[in-house]
Amino acid sequence: MGGVRVFISSVIKGYEALRGAAASGARVLGHDVLRSEDIPAGPDTAERACLDLVRKSDVVVTLLGARYGAPTAREQSPTHQEYAEARAMNKDVLAFVQRGVEPEVAQKAFIDEVRAWATGSAIASFSTPEDLRDAVIRSLKELELSRAAGRVDPEELVARGRGRSEAVARSLHEPSLVLAIAPGPSTPLLRPTQMANTDFQRDLERDALYGKPSVLLAGAQTRRALDHGSLLVAQDRGRVVLDADGTLVIAGPAETPDDFMASLVQEDIVERLAAALRFAGATLDRLDTGGRVTDVAPIAALVRLGYTSWRTRAEAQRERGRMTMNVQHGEELVVVTLRPPSRRRRALTAEAREIAEDLAQLLRQEVTR
């Protein structure tokens, strides 16, 4: 990870010693440090100049203490804006939370937001500048080790996820919604003996049926099996399929029943996709405690649609009992991916709703065009 540019993000006043300690830790490892203190005078505002440094950086180190900082015109503090910019650009974010301080209300909400995103080796705590320097060195080294596991190829993730979703689709005989999550870099997460372990299989089945969220129907007849090296938890209208590399496929009904006919309901599609994304995030957290997986590619599909309608809940209520068909899709499988196709691993839980809304909109565009 040589030649890495590390941006130090925090409030400035009163944090000079902490910012210096974080910079020192990064430089010990031979990294270049980018800081607002080093921005030369120029025509740009300090806010714009700092966001530009975030874009130029490879890693953003965010220091979180008691103070939130003064909100700008965007109604966020500069540190919060820098964090949001780093996330939007898929940057590596390492967060460090100060112990023994009482955060302001806005700062506590910000810290909670960061904790939901940057878990494991990506978040640490500290008390003194010396603690912080050591924590920065340790976290940057762990990031280096995770990167050494291999580069993420987003197109490979999409190809893998699409292949698995198509394989599962062939086992479905009713209109179904399928979500595949392909993690990267590609590496074995489970040994064959773990896949065959009855307790592990039972735990996956329990989470699928009764987890928060659940993705299979509690009370329905369920079976478990090893199928060509994959672990299958299956019902008549649902599937959870897990591969040794962590690739996960969740399938369930696509349509929402009505008194007269079933239809694709926008909000229900979004909720089912969001639940599947959160389930995938929780499953990866259990499989990969070492943080080897850094990125994921979500792939959504609709299977065996035939003739149906795609409506919002409000439209479905207004048209209750009426037959309206705006989907006449002859293809057996419709698949969509995001652009860019991959997201940071934590997005599975932290941005599940947003990703689900985007995937649902892409599916709607494909099947109603």
Domains of the chain, residue spans? 5-148, 154-368
Residue 350: predicted pLDDT: 82
Q: Which residues on neighbouring strands pair with residue 310, listed in sequence order? A: 264
Residue 92: predicted pLDDT: 86
CB 23 within 8 A of CB 70: no
Q: Which two tokens stand for residue 328?
A: 């006449």
Q: Which letter does DSSP use for residue 90 in this model?
A: T
- CB contact set of 109 (below 8 Å; sequence gap of 6+): none
In SS3 terms, 188-207 reads as CCCCHHHHHCHHHHHHHHHH
Cα of first residue to Cα of last residue in the chain, in angstroms, is 46
Residue 72: predicted pLDDT: 80
Q: How far apart are CA 360 and CA 318, in angstroms?
A: 21
Would strands 295-303 and 92-98 be described as parallel, antiparallel, or unpaired? Answer: unpaired
CB 19 within 8 A of CB 71: no
pTM of the model: 0.74
User: Cα dist. 31→4, 239, 314 in Å?
Assistant: 5, 46, 55
Residue 68: predicted pLDDT: 96
Residue 323: predicted pLDDT: 56
Q: Which residues on neighbouring strands pair with residue 232, listed in sequence order? A: 225, 241
Would strands 92-98 and 310-311 be described as parallel, antiparallel, or unpaired? Answer: unpaired
pLDDT along the chain (369 residues), means of 10: 85 94 95 86 71 94 95 87 90 92 95 76 87 94 74 90 94 93 91 95 97 94 93 96 97 81 88 97 89 89 83 78 56 88 87 94 89
- CB contact set of 137 (below 8 Å; sequence gap of 6+): 25, 28, 29
Q: Which two tokens stand for residue 221?
A: 């007849």
Residue 361: predicted pLDDT: 96
Residue 291: predicted pLDDT: 75
- Sheet bearing 5-9, strands edge to edge: 32-34, 5-9, 59-64, 92-98, 123-126
Per CATH, the number for 5-148 is 3.40.50.450
User: Cα dist. 15→12, 126, 131 in Å?
Assistant: 5, 13, 14
CB 10 within 8 A of CB 94: no
Residue 309: predicted pLDDT: 82
Residue 149: predicted pLDDT: 63
SS3 265: strand
Residue 313: predicted pLDDT: 83
User: Cα dist. 132→30, 88, 148, 363 in Å?
Assistant: 17, 26, 24, 46
Q: Is 14 exposed, middle or buried (0-12, 13-18, 19+ CB in 10 A)?
A: exposed
Q: Which letter does DSSP use for residue 66 in this model?
A: S
